[in-house]
Amino acid sequence: MTVPLATHFSLNRCRTAHSKVFAYLFLLEDPDPPPFICIEEPENGLYHKLLEVLAQEFRIHATGKKNAPQIFVTTHQPYFVDALAPKEVWILEKGKDGYSTVRRVSELEDVSNLVAEGLPLGGLWYSDYLDAR
């Protein structure tokens, strides 16, 4: 069945994961994007192999255009982290004093060396290499 372009298209007919990806892509294609975009756990409901593509799209849109937005993503998914470079990942940890500390993963020499050797960053995270404790 061929659908003419002028036909109304409803995201309600799509699966949740497809709707979510469409929403991210529409957000990224905004001709006048906000300066700062926060996305919480983009991995929810998505096939894990799609996370690398999604991370690449975020990277392209955050670095490839004039007035590109900063994109801040929180995740609990090592597959998403695998698609990132150490310089793109920040660790936020709440201290015993109640204050948070922020570190860039690229500042962790052992982690940067292991990634350079070919180990996935998400795997290192789940192996506690990114844990300060």
Shared-domain flag, residues 90 and 69: no
Q: Count other Cβ atoms within 10 Å, centred on residue 80.
A: 24
Tens of pLDDT, residue by residue over 48-84, are 888 999 999 999 888 877 778 899 999 999 999 999 9
Shared-domain flag, residues 114 and 133: yes
* Number of structural domains in the chain: 2
Question: What's 31's DSSP letter?
Answer: S
Tens of pLDDT, residue by residue over 101-120, are 999 999 999 999 999 999 99
Question: What's 78's DSSP letter?
Answer: H
Residue 101 belongs to some domain of the structure: yes
Q: Residue 122 is part of which domain span?
A: 85-133
Shared-domain flag, residues 57 and 90: no
pLDDT above 70 as % of the chain: 87
Shared-domain flag, residues 65 and 122: no
Category of 106 on φ-ψ map: left (φ > 0), alpha (ψ -120 to 50) or beta: alpha
Domain boundary pick from 83, 98, 123:
83
Residue 9 belongs to some domain of the structure: no
Shared-domain flag, residues 75 and 19: yes
Shared-domain flag, residues 74 and 118: no
Shared-domain flag, residues 96 and 119: yes
* 28-36 average pLDDT score: 87
Residue 6 belongs to some domain of the structure: no
Residue 3 belongs to some domain of the structure: no
Residue 31, pLDDT score: 84
Shared-domain flag, residues 132 and 117: yes
Shared-domain flag, residues 75 and 37: yes
Residue 104 belongs to some domain of the structure: yes
CA pair distance 120, 72, nearest whole angstrom: 21
Task: Please say whether the beta carbons of 28 and 58 come within 8 A.
Answer: yes
Shared-domain flag, residues 75 and 96: no
